Every structure is written in structure tokens, then in C-alpha cells.
Amino acid sequence: MASRKDSGSVASAVMASTGGTLDSPVKQIQIEGLVVLKIIKHYQEEGQGSEVVQGVLLGLVVDDRLEITNCFPFPQHTEDDADFDEVQYQMEMMRSLRHVNIDHLHVGWYQSTFYGSFVSRALLDSQFSYQHAIEESVVLIYVPIKTAQGSLSLKAYRLTPKLMEICKEKDFTPEGLKKANIGFEHMFEEVPIIIKNSHLINVLMWELEDKSTVADKHELLNLSSSNHLEKSLQLLMDRVDDMSQDIVKYNTYSRNLSKQQQQKHQYLQRRQQENAQRQSRGEPPLPEEDINKMFKPPQPPPRMDTLLIAGQINNYCQNVKEFTSQNLGKLFMAEALQGHN
């Protein structure tokens, strides 16, 4: 999944220009309808299948509410564009918006996702860079497949305070995560979203709804979602396989560590016995040795990737649950309509 390597630099630069953050966390997000349309249009123009599109969110903070009033996309460029500076591009875009009196404060970023596959190390690192520099930063996750089926899927996430502390300390060892008492359910927190439009846009939407034909609404009972369910289950199985491989690695590490501890204990016992024999013979004890150099502990596998895999598995399960529950409701409605006829 794509990520922005200079996101931390951009957020830090914007942070220096704004001059501080709020003490209160963001409890609600208000998004202009124009921003939603821009995100959808960005994916339709540059996103292809599993291709990820990303962009910058602009707005302002009012009390504990984050208002997202504008956005602009990250430009697509290849590895051949070595001279392209993403930080400079974003700063120039925000400077241009400021000149035309449009909200230009950096409040986060957005990203599209393929079947909900967004829980990754790249997203974690990018969001940590944003949130560390700008406390109220959020990441908007847009799911184009659900939106294409008539249900807008746009969710906002932030890193939890526990995960922020772990990322600051960069202690992803099993002992560090156990000490922090963090699981995959404590990594991201979802912030509720409200989409707001102006009164003129609301009037226009009412007029468009009145002009829509009733014949097009029969697709709401369409039961053909097997392709989506099949793909979600396939991705879920792939993630379960990855989790199984990580479990095997951790079990191997545990066995090697236990074996080394036994060897160390046996070595210390033999050394004590030998020193006791030398003392009985009136000989000096053996010189002290650094046992840690003799028995170097095995390197523990990083557990953050395992947490991310568990979080992605949970996300796939929620998607499957959501689609199956919708289909069950459609089946009951279709059965009732058929019985009525």
C-alpha cells in the first residue's frame, strides 16, 4: 500500500506555521459535501482496481470538532520523477489556497482502500507522523467498492494514545507490547463523521430526488453480492495465513529462548560445582566471565506486524458481517414481497 515518505516533514512544516495544537481531542468530524465529491472524483480519475489514491485534508478545529472544508490530491508520479518534491508541492498548494481566502490549515490526509485493506505498517507510520506533529490530524478511509454499490463508505481514524506512546518509544518487542497492554482493538479509534452541505445544495438534492424515477430503486433489493463476499473471504484467508506464519515464528523464538535458558542454567551449575571442587583442593576459583556474551539471546520477532494483521483480520470479519446482515435483510424483504404477490 502506498504511503507518503515525507508526510512527517510536511506536517512538521505546517505545524511550525500554525503555532500549536489543542489540548482537547477531536470527538467529531464535520466534512463538507464538496470534499466527499473531490475524494470520489480523485479515485475515479486516477484509481484503478487496487490502486491507492491519497490526498491532503484542509480545514480548521472548532472546540472538539474538526471541520474538513477542502482537500487536494497527491499527484501521481513514477520513480523516474526523481526531482519531484512532495513537501514543496503541498506547501505551494496550501499557499495558493491561502491567497484565494480558502481554508489552508493541514488537518490530515485521506486514502482509498481495496476491500478494506488499509490496516498496514505504511498507514501506521504515516498517521503517526501526522498526529505527532499535528495532534488533531485524522486519516479518512474511502472504500470505492461499497460506494459504487450505492452505500457511501467513508470512515475517519486516529491512533490511540497507547499506540502513540509505543510508536514514540519504538518498542515493538513482545515484552514492550505486553507491558503497554495493547491489542489490535486498541490501535485505532474511529471518529464519527457528519457530512454537511449548504442550504442551496440541500435544496438542489431535494429537487434531484423528486425528479428521480421509482423504477431505478428496485436495485436496492439486488442480492448479487457474491463477488464481493468471495473476494473478502479470500483476502481474509490470506491474512489468516500470514498470522499463522507469524505464530510459527514466535513459537520458534520461544523454543529457542527456552532452550538457551536451560543451557545457561546448566552451564552455571557446572561452573558452581567446578568452583566448589577447586575450593576443596585449595585452588582459586575460575575467573568471572560475561555470560551474556557466551549466550546471546535470540532476536525476538517484531510483534507490531502481528497486531496489524490481527486488526486487518478483524476489519475483514466486520465487512463480511456487514454484507451478510444486509443480504439477510434483503432476503426477508424479498420473501415478504413474493408472498404478498
Q: Answer whether residue 231 shows pLDDT above 70.
A: yes
**Amino acid present at 318:** Q
User: Which range (64-78, 188-202, 323-337) has the least confidence?
Assistant: 323-337
Q: Which CATH number fits domain 28-76+84-222: 3.30.420.40, 3.40.50.300, 3.90.180.10, 3.40.140.10?
A: 3.40.140.10
Q: Given this model, what pLDDT does residue 219 score?
A: 56
- Unique residue bearing C-alpha cell 446482515: 325
Q: Answer whether residue 8 shows pLDDT above 70.
A: no
Q: Given this model, what pLDDT does residue 341 score?
A: 59
Which of the two residues, 204 and 241, has the higher pLDDT score? 241
User: Which range (117-131, 143-157, 248-262) has the least confidence?
Assistant: 143-157
Domain ranges of the chain: 28-76+84-222, 238-340
pLDDT in tens, 27-41: 899 999 889 999 999
- The Cα-based distances of 52 to 44, 81, 82, 114, 144 in angstroms read 11, 19, 20, 8, 10
State the average pLDDT over residues 74-91: 68
What distance in Å separates the CA atoms of residue 208 and residue 168, rounded to the nearest whole number?
A: 50
Q: Given this model, what pLDDT does residue 22 score?
A: 41
